[in-house]
Structure 1
Amino acid sequence: MTSPAETAARSGPVPARALVLAARPLRAEFRLEETSRFADDAWWLTPAWLRADRKSLKLDFTTVPPPFVHAAKSLFYALLTQDTPPGELPLTIPSIRTYFSCARLFLTWVHNRGRTLAQVSGEDLDAYHRDLAAQRLSLASTYRYRRAVRMLWAYRSRLPDALATDPLRRPAWQAWARANPRRFGENLTERIPEQIMGPLLTWALRWIDDFAEDILAARDERAALDARPPTGPDAVSALAVLLDGYRLRRQPLPSLPPGRLRRSSRPAPCLSHLARLLGHDRDRLERLDAERLIAQAVREVGVDSDCPLTHRVQGQLDGRPWLAAISYYDGPRFERLLQAACWIVIAYLSGMRDSEAKHLQRGCLSVQRDPDGRVYRHRLHSRAFKGEDAHGAQATWIVTAPVARAIAVLERFQPVDQPYLFAPPLTSRSYRQRRSPYGVLDSNATNTDITDLIKWINDYCTAHHRPDGIPPERGRVPHLTTRRFRRTLAWFIARRPGGTIAGALQYRHQGIQMFEGYAGTSDSGFRDEVEAEEALARGQFLAELGADSDRPSLAGPAGDEAEARIADFARHTVFDGQVVTDEARLRRIVARHDAHMYPGTFVTCVYNPDRALCRTSSDPGDQPVLADCQPLACRNTALTPANHQALAGHLTQLEEALSDSDRLAPYLRHRLQEQHRATAAFLTRHASEPAE
């Protein structure tokens, strides 16, 4: 059945008073009749943006060349009303805003050549594509600009002026597409290097576990100072009493911090802070005879370098307080950095997308306990939007204790009447300027705060001669966007020795728990991301083995078969002794010529379902179940030199444990002896063979 919006779009010009968001669900606080109409110069999309983590969106047609305004409005009206021609898919509100910028660029290019859309020739389209390619945009951006141009042809039945030629049939467009095949579903987001992610996560946990109490206490003291009532009607007398207290304690008077002073200025008493301590306005002190009293006190006790709060810092770092004191003026920045640290821990250790983290609300964490009352599972509840409608869907993540501690900090951090945990701090510029219309930080604000946290960490490490700062990325302070954390976690889980199951303990635990999550209707796709990273890691492993002609042959029951698979894979990945290093190309090779070899710490699985002890005959499966691996008995086992070394190291550890066997329980001693016997016999049977 055709909707009224579709009928209007197909039957003729769109009425000037047509509501452009009529086909879209709206936020509860907006009424449809108050939203933008076709004749408006700007269409506000904010009412139809149902998520809480984005800033205002609009289509400003005053930025489009005047001859093309009506065509642009017709196109985007069709997109907003979801009046899509065959072969075109509906777009979300943020995608429509993105394509508006792309289409505007092309319309401006056409306008500068003095043509209408119908007059644009195939040669013009090729020329625009060459200009676009010359900008050296990312692959994803180039595809968006190309698609925006083609919309002006695909939606030609909805437009008063449209392209007469399908751009995708032009030689330049086709040649570029052949050279840059679209990799649907491939995550092109850059991961965070390990040397950056490691110390950053360590510092984020410090902020939550060691510094948070001090920052929250300072926040409360600061709020109490800002709300302090006047100490009495006589401000001068109250000031004299306050200054006598500084004399009695032999404490210097507060000063503006160095960052707030002019370069040529010397530290001077901070009149604003003194007035704040008295509960009076600075202007009132300036009108009274206060300068004489303050100058006399300065001669006796001097001036501090800041405005320290009275809270005594409790957090320790290497056995000493992490700060001597917290300044009144440092409080707002510390609050932002604490919130950024919580975001890092929650997003990175859960695999949540930024939009999912930003919809966390008070009470989002639930726990499961064993009969003794010990917590054994933390569940995090939020909304997921990937693959869902505009409203999103309830979803659940299984998380670890550090995430639970970060949630607890955020629940104390926000006022009790604020449901969202990532709402801007009350002292932040984002809150004062209402930068986000719904009171939740957008991804740009979080990106800025993460960068600021890195700068603070490095400044702190420099000042305290610490070696654990955040190293630069490409010679500058790392700029870590929210999108990179999820990609990085998938990479770490996949790249630990043995992958998800047999890797380093923290990532093994993290991967298993997260794969139990997303119990709601939404599919997180995180398992797919990890499996894609694992496939790429296997491809790189096999390609390097195939290129190394001097390495020892793989040993083990499946050693010969492993060598045959490596040689076959090398025909697709090694050319003139050089290994394919382009990740996108290697992913395609693995997808087409998967050797089904799975490298691990102790063994390499040369998977054959007929011989796999980890699978049953009724469920052979297309890949091994590493949790059920029986490496010393399975005929799918092969050994690289690294595997052999790891097993030898494990054998040494068993020997050390058995050297003091009199202290071991009989059952444990027997088990260790059996492990030692089986491992030693396996290594004897399958020693690595030198290369021929």
Structure 2
Amino acid sequence: MTSAFETAAQSAAVPGDSLVLAGRPLRDYAVLEETSRYAEDVWVLTPAWLRADQKTVRLDFTLLPPVMVDVAKPLFFALLTQDTPPGELPLAIDSVRTYFGCVRRFLWWVHGRGRTLRELDGEDLDDFHREVTALRLSGGATRCNRRAVRMFWAYRNVLPDHLGQDPLRRPLWQAWARHHRRTGGENLTDRIPEQVVAPLLSWAMRFVDDFADDVLAARAERDAIDARPPAGPDLPTALAELLDGFRRRQRPLPAAPARLASARRGDAFPSTSYLARLLGYPVHRLDEARQRQMIAEAVGDVGVDTDCPLAHAPQGQLEGRPWLERISYYDVARLERLLLVSCWIVIAYLSGMRDSEIKHLQRGCLSVQQAPDGHVYRHRLASLAFKGEDVRGAEATWIVTAPVARAIAVLERFQPEEQPYLLAPAPSSRYCSAFPVPDSNTTNRDIAFLISWISTYCDDRGRPDGIPRERGRLPRLTTRQFRRTLAWFIARRPGGAIAGALQYRHQCIQMFEGYAGTSDSGFRDEVEAEQALARGQFLAEISADEDRPTLVGPAGAEAEARLAEFARHTVFDGQVVTDEARLRRIVARHDPHMYLGTFITCVYNPERALCRTSNGPGDGQPVLADCQPLACRNTALTPANYQALSGHLTKLEGALANSDRLAAYVRHRLEEQHRETAAFLARHAPETAE
């Protein structure tokens, strides 16, 4: 056992005045000599966090058992200075903070057992592992706790007290790792249900396209009121003129927001603070007896309103009527918040960008490509990407659609000229941080605020397009879910108004032109993973259906054989595997490489695929853009495929019925396509029961 003297001596190997962020890149304003030192109880890591969207990051060693501080400090000093032993990877600043929480859990557990790290045996490590897994954390959180424990073995050369054995050699730890292997590219974030994302996106786009002008006009009026100079040197005279104006227009005096409920009951509580703003005087000047008497007399003449309406009349329309009757001075800040988060939602959901990438959008980030006639055919969005990149981020470009471009245009109008970040909070916001843009937790709260506003707005007006509740509660969404949901919809392209309105396939094509910058978004991988799962679900269902018609076509027999083999892994006792995680693993290992399309089902074999010239021999997927379905031997037909082709043949016949109006070349191509399609359907007609 290590003595207290030995522990103190080893801990002293790191001088107390050592700078814990030495060697780390710092923010421009940071001075290394002013950053945290080893002997301090709290290490502030914020200067080494280079992104614009994060709260203060620090390690507070007072939260650890006092006897364990001298064990933890050398570990985190090594992590921060990136003095990593063989086999250990350097950690980013946010990861260091995450592991601090896991280390804290472990050290309190050790302290509760009254032991040192060296005294822990294999059974102790197994007990801690069981306790962590019993918490039912996510796989990533459990891995983090496991790695935090192992650090006390991996970094043993710099620690005064460390584990006496490698936890990963324990059978229990190995068994957990085998059953919880990482699945590359798999996104386990819950997607947003269609019945939620459809109205949410619709309302967000309304704010961007229809309501933004009203919000910005109301803000301009509010700011002009706040900047008013005194109406004149004589306050009583100026107040009398203001009150006479209310009398002439027969308008009630503005109501104090805090007294709104009382005002509705008939109590008179005029807003002296708002009247003072209209006069350009400080509010305390209206507390004098003469001014109070003048206001009371005006209340007797015209009464008190229910709020403090601005002069701007809302112009945005909902079904031919203004979306708001009027806008209150005190509602402007809330409307700014709603507009800002609406722009975030439109960008996030229609671009596939991560929250950190959106938060780093700056003025001038949008560029367009135009045809000679001025038509804009491509919008490019530039920002910084951080996933898998340097801590400072890498420049990257996204291909986006027109709604995203309109949201960017609104944000550039929303932000003051001197503010480069488009997602910075409004100047009137209560947001207070050393960082120019809010973090994801703040955005999560703003999304919840928008959902609540939509629900209240629709309930008050009897509208059917609100956000549906689940078990009586409104949904709580996170920034991570939007990218995941977009990938799901692109892969599935389900029916319904939202799918038709957004043209997910078009969205897919545009975004799949790729990150044109130095970073790979990984979004294509997420969509392809969703497409693989969708294929697996469909193939599992039809392979389990014993009453379905047999697939026909050149590859019909091979399709049936592949389905039978796939059923061996997905159908048990007549029941199809429905667990998504399990089905993902099955598809990854036993993919039958059958790709369902509207007109044909591709039973992919690269050796005979006519699209392989573009795709390259041996590739695992067909290139659908180069598909030659009527000539390729990989083609199979489901009943739905046969019906779709028959319907296409009928449309060709309708077009050829008016062939006299067609150009000769067009008529020839349609006749040729009709002949080939009819012959193909005749050769591969499904068998009918006699």
Q: Distance in 2 between matches of 1:302 and 1:312?
A: 22
The 5 Å alignment of 1:56-205 reads 56-205=56-205
What corresponds to 1:682 in structure 2? 680
Q: Deviations over 1:108-163 (max 9, x none)?
A: 11111211111122222122122212222122211111111111111111110111
1:481 CA drift (Å): 1.0
Structure 2 residue identity aligned to 1:686? H
Q: Deviations over 1:277-305 (max 9, x none)?
A: 11112211012422332232223322221
What corresponds to 1:629 in structure 2? 627
Structure 2 residue identity aligned to 1:623? Q
Task: Note if contact 2:264-2:306 (Cα within 8 Å) is conserved in structure 1.
Answer: no
1:504 CA drift (Å): 9.1
The verdict on how the C-alpha distance between 1:80 and 1:685 changes in structure 2, with shifts beyond 3 A counting, is: same
Task: Note if contact 2:276-2:283 (Cα within 8 Å) is conserved in structure 1.
Answer: yes
Structure 2, unpaired ranges of 5+? 1-8
The verdict on how the C-alpha distance between 1:142 and 1:249 changes in structure 2, with shifts beyond 3 A counting, is: same
Task: Note if contact 1:349-1:403 (Cα within 8 Å) is conserved in structure 2.
Answer: yes
Q: Distance in 2 between matches of 1:258 and 1:441?
A: 28
1:651 CA drift (Å): 4.2
Tell me, yes or no, if structure 1 residue 469 matches structure 2 residue 470: no
Q: Distance in 1 between matches of 2:350 and 2:438?
A: 20
Q: Deviations over 1:563-594 (max 9, x none)?
A: 11111111111111122222222222222222
What corresponds to 1:278 in structure 2? 279
**Range with greater deviation from structure 2 (162-171 or 345-354):** 162-171
Structure 1 residue identity aligned to 2:612? R
What corresponds to 2:410 in structure 1? 409
What corresponds to 2:363 in structure 1? 362
1:559 CA drift (Å): 1.2
Q: Distance in 2 between matches of 1:644 and 1:512?
A: 26
Task: Note if contact 2:185-2:525 (Cα within 8 Å) is conserved in structure 1.
Answer: no
1:679 CA drift (Å): 3.8
**Range with greater deviation from structure 2 (125-134 or 89-98):** 125-134
Q: Deviations over 1:478-506 (max 9, x none)?
A: 221111111111111111279xxx99972
Q: Distance in 2 between matches of 1:540 and 1:397?
A: 31
Q: Deviations over 1:19-58 (max 9, x none)?
A: 1111211111101111111101011110110111111100
Task: Note if contact 2:601-2:635 (Cα within 8 Å) is conserved in structure 1.
Answer: yes
Residue 597 of structure 1, aligned match among 594, 612, 630: 594
Structure 1 residue identity aligned to 2:365? C
Structure 2 residue identity aligned to 1:629? C
Matched residues, percent identical? 71
Q: Distance in 2 between matches of 1:246 and 1:348?
A: 46
- Helix, strand or coil for the counterpart of 1:598? strand
What corresponds to 1:4 in structure 2? none
- Helix, strand or coil for the counterpart of 2:290? coil
- Helix, strand or coil for the counterpart of 2:503? helix
1:632 CA drift (Å): 2.6
Task: Note if contact 1:236-1:288 (Cα within 8 Å) is conserved in structure 2.
Answer: no
The verdict on how the C-alpha distance between 1:201 and 1:302 changes in structure 2, with shifts beyond 3 A counting, is: same
Q: Aligned-residue CA RMSD in angstroms? A: 2.5
Q: Distance in 1 between matches of 2:501 and 2:217?
A: 37
The verdict on how the C-alpha distance between 1:278 and 1:144 changes in structure 2, with shifts beyond 3 A counting, is: same
The verdict on how the C-alpha distance between 1:446 and 1:678 changes in structure 2, with shifts beyond 3 A counting, is: same
1:675 CA drift (Å): 4.3
- Helix, strand or coil for the counterpart of 1:290? helix
Structure 2 residue identity aligned to 1:468? D
What corresponds to 2:448 in structure 1? 451
Task: Note if contact 2:615-2:622 (Cα within 8 Å) is conserved in structure 1.
Answer: no
The verdict on how the C-alpha distance between 1:319 and 1:478 changes in structure 2, with shifts beyond 3 A counting, is: same
**Range with greater deviation from structure 2 (654-663 or 347-356):** 654-663
TM-score between both structures, scaled by the size of structure 2? 0.93
Q: Distance in 2 between matches of 1:250 and 1:665?
A: 71
- How many residues are paired up? 677
- Helix, strand or coil for the counterpart of 2:381? strand
Structure 1, unpaired ranges of 5+? 1-8
What corresponds to 1:22 in structure 2? 22
The verdict on how the C-alpha distance between 1:314 and 1:497 changes in structure 2, with shifts beyond 3 A counting, is: closer
The verdict on how the C-alpha distance between 1:429 and 1:261 changes in structure 2, with shifts beyond 3 A counting, is: farther
1:678 CA drift (Å): 4.1
TM-score between both structures, scaled by the size of structure 1? 0.93
Structure 1 residue identity aligned to 2:629? P
**Range with greater deviation from structure 2 (653-662 or 17-26):** 653-662
Q: Distance in 1 between matches of 2:11 and 2:241?
A: 82
Q: Deviations over 1:319-364 (max 9, x none)?
A: 1111111111111111111111111111211111111111111111
1:463 CA drift (Å): 1.6
Task: Note if contact 1:377-1:398 (Cα within 8 Å) is conserved in structure 2.
Answer: yes
